[in-house]
Amino acid sequence: MVFIWCLLGGLICLFAPAGWTGRLQLAYARVFSWPLSAGRHLSLATAGMPALHATHSATDETWTVERQALKNYIANLEAQTAEAQMEIDELSRISAEPQWKRMAFLRADTRPSPIPDTLLINRGENDRVAVGQYVLGNMSIIGTISHVSARSATVRLITDENSAIPATIGESKLAGIVEGRARGLARIPLIPATHPVRRGDKVYAKKMPGVLDAPVVMATVTQCGPDPENPLLLNITVQPACDIATLTRVAVILSAPRPQ
């Protein structure tokens, strides 16, 4: 019976005039408008939730990356500020020496060199570094600039066998030449045995106008006695006034003095 009634209803709708079926459709839409609308909104909301979640996730990830970049930028600024303050303090300490006020200093960082008795620094021609300029380490002369490129330079230490620096010895200001002997040592040849030179005497790089405006300590006498090959001369051995192997920063004494 149910099948027969449903069949009759379908035949009636099939053969009924188009106007009747149209009015029946509009009546159905008006009666069930609220449930249909609610279902449509629910379907749209459900479909849009994954996209909205993805958008929020992308935004959160972007903010996380930007926050990390900002933290890194601040950390870099703090490190650069600390480095600049260290450089200012070091150069101020050097310039505080009354006899050095006319000399200009350029701070540089060091790194090991494959060549014995030399150092590499991160300053070069772009920073006014030139061959022959003196290099200061721990307030003492450690060598001279031997090679320069645009952004780096090589320091020939006073212990290098090719190094020869005019010097004075002790309070007597006895003049001599400090020549490198390698292996961390140097010597002062051709000093007459009649001159009083003692172990522990300080050796100073000799003042040279336009290059070195005041004597600067360079080495200490570690051995002094008659030269076995020539007793009329002294055999003087010296070592640098600081531990060069532990240096991480030096100061280049620029040739052009500061204007008074």
Domains of the chain, each with CATH number or no CATH: 103-254 (2.40.10.340)
Residue 16: its pLDDT value, please?
57
pLDDT of residue 88 exceeding 60, the answer is no
Dump pLDDT digits (tens) for 122-147: 999 999 999 999 999 998 999 999 99
Crossing angle, helix 33-95 and helix 18-31, to 10 degrees? 50
E runs forming strands in 79-184: 104-112, 118-121, 134-137, 140-148, 153-157, 164-169, 174-182
* Average pLDDT over the chain, rounded to an integer: 79
- CB hemisphere CA count around 157 (13 angstroms): 29
d(CA 220, CA 160): 16
Tokens 């903010």, residue?
63
Q: How much is the pLDDT for 258?
A: 36
Which pLDDT value is given to residue 66?
77
Tens-digit pLDDT profile for residues 161-171: 999 999 999 87
> Of 28-37, 77-86, 205-214, which range is least confident?
28-37
Residues composing the chain: 260
